[in-house]
Amino acid sequence: MTSASDTSVVPATATSPGTEWWRSAVIYQIYPRSFADLTGDGIGDLPGITARLDSLAALGVDAIWLSPFFTSPQKDAGYDVADYCDIDPLFGTLDDFQHMLDRAHTLGLRVIVDLVPNHTSDAHRWFQEAIASPVGSPERARYMIRDGEGASGELAPNNWESVFGGPAWTRLVEPDGTPGQWYLHLFDSSQPDLDWQNPWVREQFRDILRFWLDRGVDGFRVDVAHGLIKADGLPDFTPDPAGGSMGGSTVGAESVGLEPGISDVADEETAPFWAQDGVHEIFRDWHELLAEYPGDRVLCAEAWVEPLTKLARWVRPDEMHQAFNFSYLETPWAGPALRRVVDDSISAFAGVGAPSTWVLSNHDVVRHASRLALTAENPQGAGIGPNSAGLPDTALGLHRARAATTLMLGLPGSAYVYQGEELGLPEVIHLPESARQDPTWFRTNGERYGRDGCRVPIPWEADRPAYGFSASGDAWLPQPDDWAGYARDAQVGVEGSTLELYRELLRLRRESMLGMGALEWLAGYPEEVVAFTNAGVTVIANTGQDTVELPAGSVLVASGPVAGNILPADTTVWLIAD
């Protein structure tokens, strides 16, 4: 078994347990559509990524995770995969992928790709064959296809709703033109759910994992890793209207959940399509498969599961290696809630020998430079637009986002950074309705704006067309007119810029090995203050409005202006003892 990474500067040798790179890595999420467009069609591509990788090495991250670039009709921005082992022409070719991977490895960056196992695109050959084959055929058994209820099967098999709004079942038209069976789609109707009870499906995905591992990828981010198995009998489920997330219960009163249409969950009850015990044997199988490969390959779960003690089951020693910490992402900018979630995270993950992870933004949530200054509840997945309640103050949002990131990167464990947050980008609120593309927007008839506002192509150069995103000036979502100041070239080397703050945080984090450190809380501060030491560095975040006196020591880095030993509101510092 050889891989392209064997010859690169990223070590491919196994490390001793407990020191694997992913335990402390900072992983940068690239959203390929919106990163860099070399062909000029307005959609980012793999050659664009390759051309811009130096800037990520200069930023100081350890790895990149790329959202899907596989063959896809792009009904859900590539999370509707029609061929798992090929590249969509929008993004390039398999050769382009290999060049990107090799370049990343040469720069010392690991590469994680996105695996979407819960559902395929309806354009996938497997689904096309399924609906062309007779009822009861092995092809139909690949998917969650069921007879309807009612005298002639005219009613959906149960009452489940799609995460994106509307019913989770669509009726098929049989090859002879008559209305027929129904297929389940927890997401868009173009995303039929696979039947993971079927061994055939499991075998296909083993081959897909091998395909990418053989090419040298360092791991997989696993989409909807809590949804693969549905409860026996597919029982009806009525979500608690006040309930939480795409999975677990909520974290505290202020917490808001993902996609409320399907959100569940009263207390310990579990929706019959989320977090079923049967998912774990699938990940144990994949764990073994990855272990056949040299180096420390990683599986990262996207699992909206709460509480954290339950999420920890996804990262038991023989399952996945990491899980996104959405409880942390959902925590408001408030000292007591932050201390609680940090404690809960470290103890839950340490209980199974896994590192905690931390994340503030991704392609599914309102960017934290806006979210942290919202003044009204905003259920995750709803997005924000011109008519949303409680729209944020941009300056306050950025100020808090810088403080929140400075706190996050001071924590031990692994952290995720979403493209553009290092530039301080806010959510784009004023997108023309005609430009919106998120299926959520369409399936709720505009009731929810969805996630387009965090997916706008990022600015590279202040004075170039499309801020350097594409040479042609095209961008698949329009960029705001006032983004020149956020462009990377307007921030490089500029003292106090958000980009330089991230670079300094990442440099110091690496130098002091904060990712491998251990947290100790510091007592004696007001409750709005989050204060701890980690690997000799003192981190103090002031989430309140009153100023706070800093202890003796030298400030290594601060998220905002600090005069003398007075820490202002919404500001975080790292200090070392003199």
Closest CA to 49 of 115, 116, 109, 117: 109
CB of 565 to ligand GLC, least distance (A): 43
Give the angle 456-369-50 at the CA atoms, nearest 5°.
45
Backbone angles phi, psi at 572, to 5 degrees: -125, 140
386 CB burial (10 A radius; 0-12, 13-18, 19+): exposed
CB of 221 to ligand GLC, least distance (A): 9
CA–CA distance, 68 with 79 (Å, rounded to integer): 6
Count residues binding ligand GLC (CB under 6 A): 9
Interface pick for ligand GLC out of 45, 62, 76, 218 (rule CB under 6 A): 76
CB of 70 to ligand GLC, least distance (A): 12
CA–CA distance, 254 with 44 (Å, rounded to integer): 36
Closest CA to 456 of 372, 374, 367, 520: 367
Residue 224 binds to ligand GLC (criterion: CB under 6 A): yes
- Which residue of the chain is nearest ligand GLC when measured via CB? 79
Interface mask toward ligand GLC for 116-135; x: CB under 6 A: x-------------------
CA–CA distance, 272 with 245 (Å, rounded to integer): 14
Nearer to ligand GLC, 119 or 140 (CB): 119
CB of 223 to ligand GLC, least distance (A): 5
Element (H, E) at 571: strand 571-576
Residue 314 binds to ligand GLC (criterion: CB under 6 A): no
Residue 364 binds to ligand GLC (criterion: CB under 6 A): yes
Place of tokens 């809380």: 521
How many residues are given for the chain? 578
**First and final C-alpha spacing in the chain:** 52
Q: What is the dihedral of CA 160, 165, 168, 171, to 10 degrees?
A: 130
Interface pick for ligand GLC out of 193, 223, 296, 422 (rule CB under 6 A): 223
98 CB burial (10 A radius; 0-12, 13-18, 19+): middle
Return the amino acid letter for 339. R
Interface pick for ligand GLC out of 22, 97, 187, 273 (rule CB under 6 A): 187
Which long-range contacts (C-beta less than 8 Å, at least 24 apart) are formed by 4-9?
4/98, 4/101, 4/102, 4/105, 4/215, 4/216, 5/101, 5/105, 5/216, 5/218, 5/295, 6/216, 6/294, 8/102, 8/105, 8/106, 8/216, 9/105, 9/106, 9/107, 9/108
- What sign results for the dihedral spanned by CA atoms 411, 415, 416, 419? positive
Residue 31 binds to ligand GLC (criterion: CB under 6 A): no
Residues labelled catalytic = 223, 292
Q: Which residues are near ligand GLC by CB under 6 A? A: 76, 79, 116, 187, 223-224, 302, 363-364
